[in-house]
Amino acid sequence: MIIRFRIEPFIALLVSGLLIALAAGLPVEDIVGTAQKSSNSLLEGGFASILGHITAIIGLGTILGSMLEVSGGAQMLTRKLLTAFGENRAPLAMGLSGLIFGIPVFFDIGIFVLAPLVYVVAREGKRSILLYCLPLVAALSMTHAFLPPHPGPVVAAGLLGVDLGWIILMGLVCGIPAFAVAGLLYPVWIGKRINLPVPADVLSAADELAAQRADQRDPSLAVVALIIGLPMVLILGGTFGSITLAEGSAALSVLTFFGNPTVALTIAVLLSFWLLGTRRGMTTRDLSELTSAALRPLGMLLLVVGAGGFFGKVLAETGVGDALAGSLQDVGLPLIVSAYVISSGLRIAQGSATVAIVTTGGIVAPLVAAAGLSQPQLALVAVAIAAGSITASHVNDGGFWIISRYFGIPVKDMLKSWTVLETVMSLVAFGVAVGVSLVVP
């Protein structure tokens, strides 16, 4: 439906789930409920099971990213890194900037905010723009795929029942090597072979934007680091507190409360309102308008995720998931490999990483439930799904066209550079996940 008829993924997942449930012979009352009682139906229960877990996390993360974007924190961080590393290591500085700023900010927003700095650096370096933009977009892609509060890893955690602290830890363990290979080494190789100048029109736009921001006072590095790092530290503290501290202790209760992802992100958002907002002259009306604007684009994303939760519930309830699990086991593929293969196939076919993660999570959930995996092992399966969801970005992926448009890269060169980069990142992350799964209990 998505590929052939161009139907929105939300509708395609919803219709597919309903048709599968009806074809399997489930009672209508179980599928959609009754006028008197619908809360226990597959339809409402499927939506609620996943949206109840992720909605607040994604919403708060989006607001946090918007505060950093509007305050100029990203540009400040990138300029400091460029100064520290120097002209010869400018690609590394761009990659690290994307890595740090990409944690709270969506992929396309990160490109929009940091692209003007790429233009300027590429002009001064007088080398191919690929050498500077690929490390940035690789870093943004890595954080978007593997680290909360981005939708993909948060959805995978909810579908597989894994703590976000373990998702963060395994996402870093697998994502950092993938970024190093695909985002730092590969751009050096391809940048020498495809020499693309910075388009004149984007250079003039970058100069105009720089002039507009010349009088803006940047936030301090310490403030930006605090706002980005605090929620991750709190979430990890809650995760490892549950392992190391005695059950029922006061310290564990404190860590559990503040380590809850919603609580941790709420604290970070309130801090950003104060440190990046009111202390820098923003009024409560400004903050309200910024928050509303940040949350507005989330509607379709949450609908897709909710429909994916319903689709997964149907697969589990009808036994389709168990049947598929049996087929995969007959083939002899390990669970983590099956998860990667399914996610990769869905990604290549329809382009959306989020749809690939949502659908794969619903398919492999019965396998995960039957396998009795530990939390670290579950997190590695989630990483494998996320790795598959970024492989082979091509013309059916919106991110492909965003990068092409912002950096003036022809389609032919995009396939040689960005598509290969994403595939390399996917394979390296998956390889590390498989290796770690062999030693982690």
* Residue 107 counted as domain residue: yes
pLDDT exceeds 80 at position 269: yes
- Reported as a single tens digit per residue, the pLDDT across 11-45 is 988 999 899 999 989 888 888 887 666 567 888 88
Cis peptide preceding 149, ω within 30 of 0: yes
pLDDT of residue 88: 82
**Domain encompassing residue 58:** 40-437
Lowest mean pLDDT among 172-176, 225-229, 293-297, 391-395: 293-297
* Residue 14 counted as domain residue: no
pLDDT exceeds 90 at position 425: yes
Lowest mean pLDDT among 113-117, 249-253, 413-417: 113-117
* Residue 18 counted as domain residue: no
Q: Which two tokens stand for residue 322?
A: 């168990």
Cα–Cα dist 348/150, whole Å? 21
pLDDT of residue 305: 82
pLDDT of residue 186: 96
Distance of CA 355 to the CA centre of its chain: 12
102 close to 116: Cβ distance less than 8 angstroms: no
* Residue 134 counted as domain residue: yes
pLDDT of residue 204: 58
pLDDT of residue 211: 55
pLDDT of residue 416: 93
Lowest mean pLDDT among 145-149, 324-328, 343-347: 324-328
| Helix/strand number for the chain, H first, E second | 24, 0
- Reported as a single tens digit per residue, the pLDDT across 343-363 is 998 899 888 888 889 888 888
* Residue 35 counted as domain residue: no
387 close to 426: Cβ distance less than 8 angstroms: yes
pLDDT of residue 104: 86
- At 292, which helix (H) or strand (E)? helix 284-295
Cα–Cα dist 386/378, whole Å? 12
Q: What number is the average pLDDT over the span 400-429?
A: 92
The share of the chain scoring above pLDDT 90, in percent, equals: 35
Report how far apart, in Å, the C-alpha atoms of 323 and of each of 36, 329, 377 are.
Answer: 33, 10, 23
Q: What number is the average pLDDT over the span 56-63?
A: 89
* Residue 325 counted as domain residue: yes
pLDDT exceeds 80 at position 249: yes
Cα–Cα dist 79/266, whole Å? 28
CA nearest to 422, candidates 89, 14, 139: 139
Number of separate domains in the chain: 1
pLDDT of residue 321: 66
pLDDT of residue 176: 97
pLDDT exceeds 80 at position 3: no
pLDDT of residue 207: 56
pLDDT exceeds 80 at position 75: no
Q: Which two tokens stand for residue 423?
A: 């595939």
Q: Which two tokens stand for residue 226?
A: 């605090």
pLDDT exceeds 90 at position 293: no
Average pLDDT, the chain: 86
* Residue 199 counted as domain residue: yes
Residue 271: band (very low, low, confident or very high) from pLDDT cuts 50, 70, 90: very high
Cα–Cα dist 326/221, whole Å? 52
pLDDT of residue 258: 94
pLDDT of residue 74: 74
Region of 79 on the Ramachandran plot (φ > 0 left; ψ -120 to 50 alpha; else beta):
alpha
Instruction: Specify the 3-state DSSP secondary structure of 298.
Output: helix
Residue 408: band (very low, low, confident or very high) from pLDDT cuts 50, 70, 90: confident
pLDDT exceeds 70 at position 254: yes
- Reported as a single tens digit per residue, the pLDDT across 193-230 is 999 887 766 555 555 555 555 556 778 888 888 998 89
Torsion sign across C-alpha atoms 383, 385, 389, 391: positive
Instruction: Specify the 3-state DSSP secondary structure of 249.
Output: coil
Q: Which residues contact 153 (CB under 8 A, 6 or more apart)?
A: 145, 146, 147, 164, 167, 171, 382, 386
99 close to 74: Cβ distance less than 8 angstroms: no
pLDDT exceeds 80 at position 57: yes
163 close to 239: Cβ distance less than 8 angstroms: yes
* Residue 9 counted as domain residue: no
Q: What number is the average pLDDT over the span 153-182?
A: 93
| pTM assigned to the model | 0.83
